[in-house]
Amino acid sequence: MFDFFKNIKKKKMEAKLDRALAQALFLISIPKTKTNENAKIGDLIQPMAEFFNSLHGVFDPKVKGSKRPYFSFEIVTHGDQIYFYLSAPKEYADLIERQLLAYYPTANLQATEDYNIFQPKGEYAAAELVLNKNSAYPIKTFEKFESDPLSATVGALGQMKEGDGMAIQIMLRPVGDSWRDEARGIITNMQQGKKSGGGGSIFKEAVGTLIKGSEKKKDEMPEAPIRLTATQEAQVDAISQKSSFSGFETIIRLVSAGRDGVMTQANLNNLISAFHQYDVPESNQFKVDKKTKERVIKAYGFRFFDELGKSSGMVLTPNELAGLFHLPNDRMSSPHIRFMSATKLAPPNNLPHEGVLIGLNEYRGQKKEVRIATDDRRRHTYVLGKTGVGKSVLIENMVLADIQAGRGVAIIDPHGDLAESILSKIPAERAEDVVYFNATDTERPIGINMLEAKTSNERDFAVSEMISIFYKLFDAETMGPMFEHYMRNAMLAIMADTENPSTLLDIPRILTDESFRREKLKFVTDPSVREFWTKEYPQTAGGQTAKDILPYVISKLGRFISNETMRNIIGQKRSSINFRSVMDEGKILVVNLAKGQLGDINMSLLGFVIIGKLQMAALARNNVPESERRDFYLYVDEFQNFATDSFESILSEARKYHLNLLVANQYIAQLDEKIKNAIFGNIGSLISFRVGADDAEYVAKQLAPDVSAEDLINIDKFNAYTRLTIDGTPSNTFTMKTVAPQSAGDKSIVETVRNLSRVHYGRDKVLVESEIKTSGGNLDFKI
């Protein structure tokens, strides 16, 4: 017989374990938004009461006892933060999530592994709370509080030392109306002057009263109600009000863990004390049950609702439960609460299924790939965010995806780290497609000549671009109409000889070397340029105008000419790179501008010139039908260093030439007003990572109405608010998390790719310097 009962007990325990393991655990987070200061605390908690009321809808009277579904709501501190969790049967997980989000639309439920607050060889303390009186007697509900009752609870949780942990576990199971019968029985007994309402259940007493009443003879008068005291009347009203709500069988467990046994118990005692705020002396209050801490810990760890079918019998209503557990708000004073850093937003329904993968949208337990289609990339992409928030990860992933797909790309990296990382991940089959421009490679410099132009349109573009570049490089006060006049005519004159290209080094020469000037004027056919050099310039060359203007012009170029590294790059007559071929043949141009070694102004000049050359190459594609123009993808990090006034035309016109841009920078103040307007007026897709307070207000208006400035300031690293162009139309704003970066790469590949590119595109330093010296590029100019 003993073995029989032992076997029954074992099977019940196995069933309990099966049910516990079939629970799904969710981490609940919510943005910390500013609440209306005039709102009462009850208004902020009411949604939770309504949620609990809707949760009761899972009750099925046909399902008996321990087979009924149960849920666990937990507030936990581990590490240095306080977390809110929800555990539910897996078959109810979707339903519960939908119901919670109906009342807290901005909340996020993330399926998670179970947490652990215990330390190896640590101490623990635990208690289970029960009601002092019958469940019919209510505790203090949230409507009666002036401030948020959870403030005291999370305050106790927030007093942990490093390595300590605490948890509140509130387990619920919907029940039927039997507890209401008890409540009515208590009211009847009180009205008839009978003793009721002590500890424990009076169900039998109440039912007995009802039975006796029914057995009375029809002609027998019922017992007359007695006159109740004011306290008794208040109790009757409270019981009557509570019994008008649905009920949940409830278990409350409190657990404390840490290294120090005395402190662990003290922490538990503080948490127990926090629950006394719900006491109503004339009604009901919590007390600690006599269960051992070992039993409580076991039930807590497995989330057992009861032990072998026996529960505490404590019934609480939605309003009572909402005071004990609700999602946090800004009225809670604890700094340890883990609020959602920023609001998560749903993706658009028409996300492309093809195109380059740029990230993942994780929303309400669902993950969706975020891709941007080829045609939409032609409308360009702007990436904004503070340093270290994920911009480089996004750019690198997109660049590598393009490379692996055989597309043509160019990456302008002002620092060099991104360039080196990309080189280490170049597929073997594309190694020979790489054109690696390393500005600090002094032994085999690659030549870049902005003044190399074949057509009049290219010459006009190059001259205008160089003027814009100098305005960007130097203070406007040192520039002006006369500087521009001299520079423009100097460049147009030396560029007229298309068979023997000139460089920036030749500008001082034409201003100071009469024989060189005569030689170049032989090729000048533009009448206005000839008139400047044959009439205007001779009249001013020996006078005060020359003394005033020429130093400004020459000094601007002198800093580049006198720098050996720069001189060997910009002083080569023919560019080592055919930018048109790079685009048309889908090559991989990696530009390492090594800002730390070159300095800001040298880096900027090279970046300006290379982007200008790419733009010239794109515009030259007008001799090819648009349908035959191969897409080429240009990535520019910290693009504010390289954006001239012509940048607006790149954004507006480059699409038809299939030059597709992604530009990135850290904050809007880096852009002048014209560039800023060009970006936000012409860009197709906007991706904003975390930004500073100054940018947040402006960007929030661009992403309205779903994103606030606070969201943009607080969004997690590697997450961004995104507004894509999809099929030519801006999407709604949604959240996106960047895909984890690819493997660390192979450093040995870097050397191989670098050497291949040096051989193909670099030139021997000795030869370059000899050519520059022969052409007079190292002259000591005299004015």
Give the pLDDT confidence of 574-628 residue by residue, as tens digits. Answer: 999 999 999 999 999 999 998 888 889 999 999 999 999 999 999 999 999 999 9
Characterize the bridge pairing of strands 632-637 and 408-413.
parallel
Asked, for residue 477, whether it belongs to a domain, the answer is: yes
Percent with pLDDT over 70 in the chain: 90
8 falls in which pLDDT band (50, 70, 90)? very low
Dihedral of alpha carbons 17, 23, 26, 28, sign: negative
CATH code where residue 115 lies: 3.40.462
pLDDT higher than threshold 60 for residue 217: no
Asked, for residue 106, whether it belongs to a domain, the answer is: yes
222 falls in which pLDDT band (50, 70, 90)? low
Task: Give the lowest-confidence range in 356-370, 405-419, 519-533, 541-555.
Answer: 541-555
Asked, for residue 517, whether it belongs to a domain, the answer is: yes
The 3-state DSSP class for residue 527 equals helix
User: Quick one: pLDDT at residue 54?
Assistant: 96
pTM of the model: 0.78
User: Quick one: pLDDT at residue 14?
Assistant: 58
**DSSP state, 120?**
T
User: Quick one: pLDDT at residue 225?
Assistant: 66
Characterize the bridge pairing of strands 685-688 and 659-665.
unpaired
Task: Name, in order, each residue with C-beta under 8 angstroms of 600's C-beta and a sequence gap of 6 or more.
Answer: 641
Average pLDDT over residues 86-95: 92
d(CA 453, CA 463): 10
* Counted domains in the chain: 2
Burial of 670 by CB count in 10 Å (0-12 exposed, 13-18 middle, 19+ buried)? middle
pLDDT higher than threshold 80 for residue 766: yes
pLDDT higher than threshold 80 for residue 234: yes
User: Quick one: pLDDT at residue 121?
Assistant: 85
d(CA 736, CA 381): 15
pLDDT higher than threshold 80 for residue 84: yes
Asked, for residue 239, whether it belongs to a domain, the answer is: yes
Last residue of a domain, one of 504, 522, 545: 545
d(CA 479, CA 148): 64
Average pLDDT over residues 238-256: 94
pLDDT higher than threshold 50 for residue 210: no
Last residue of a domain, one of 528, 545, 562: 545
C-alpha closest to that of 36 among 48, 44, 28: 44
Average pLDDT over residues 178-184: 87
549 falls in which pLDDT band (50, 70, 90)? confident
C-alpha closest to that of 647 among 658, 663, 633: 663
> What type of residue is 527?
P
Burial of 319 by CB count in 10 Å (0-12 exposed, 13-18 middle, 19+ buried)? buried
342 falls in which pLDDT band (50, 70, 90)? confident
Average pLDDT over residues 726-747: 89
2 falls in which pLDDT band (50, 70, 90)? very low
d(CA 685, CA 78): 40
315 falls in which pLDDT band (50, 70, 90)? very high
* One domain for residues 469 and 320: no
C-alpha closest to that of 74 among 196, 6, 168: 168
The 3-state DSSP class for residue 408 equals strand
> What type of residue is 25?
L
Last residue of a domain, one of 297, 324, 351: 324
pLDDT digits (tens, 9 = 90+) for 108-136: 888 899 999 998 889 999 999 999 999 99
User: Quick one: pLDDT at residue 782?
Assistant: 45
d(CA 396, CA 37): 45
Task: Give the lowest-confidence range in 86-100, 226-240, 415-429, 666-680.
Answer: 226-240
> What type of residue is 314?
M
pLDDT higher than threshold 90 for residue 685: yes
CB 414 within 8 A of CB 641: yes
Average pLDDT over residues 236-241: 90
Average pLDDT over residues 10-33: 74
CB atoms < 10 A from the CB of 406, how many?
A: 11
User: Quick one: pLDDT at residue 73?
Assistant: 98
C-alpha 728, offset from chain centre: 25
pLDDT digits (tens, 9 = 90+) for 434-460: 999 999 999 999 999 999 998 899 999
Asked, for residue 427, whether it belongs to a domain, the answer is: no
Average pLDDT over residues 409-428: 94
11 falls in which pLDDT band (50, 70, 90)? low
Q: How many CA atoms does the CB half-sphere of 298 hold within 13 Å?
A: 10
Q: How many CA atoms does the CB half-sphere of 243 hold within 13 Å?
A: 21
The 3-state DSSP class for residue 106 equals coil
Dihedral of alpha carbons 440, 443, 448, 449, sign: positive
d(CA 124, CA 259): 8
pLDDT higher than threshold 90 for residue 780: no
Domain span at residue 458?
449-545
d(CA 429, CA 238): 79
> E-strand spans in 206-355?
247-258, 286-288, 315-316
d(CA 650, CA 93): 51
Task: Name, in order, each residue with C-beta under 8 angstroms of 82's C-beta and a sequence gap of 6 or more.
Answer: 75, 76, 154, 157, 158, 334, 336, 337, 338
C-alpha 540, offset from chain centre: 60
Cα separations in angstroms, 233 against 175, 457, 525: 27, 96, 109
Asked, for residue 462, whether it belongs to a domain, the answer is: yes
**DSSP state, 534?**
I
**DSSP state, 141?**
-
User: Quick one: pLDDT at residue 207?
Assistant: 41
> What type of residue is 31?
P
pLDDT higher at 631 or 305: 631
Percent with pLDDT over 90 in the chain: 62
C-alpha closest to that of 377 among 717, 687, 681: 687
Task: Give the lowest-confidence range in 108-122, 497-511, 540-554.
Answer: 540-554
d(CA 467, CA 486): 11
CB atoms < 10 A from the CB of 532, how many?
A: 20
CB 419 within 8 A of CB 603: no
* H helices, E strands: number in the chain: 30, 22
Asked, for residue 522, whether it belongs to a domain, the answer is: yes
d(CA 687, CA 566): 35
Task: Name, in order, each residue with C-beta under 8 angstroms of 331's C-beta and a sequence gap of 6 or more.
Answer: 35, 41, 44, 147, 148, 151
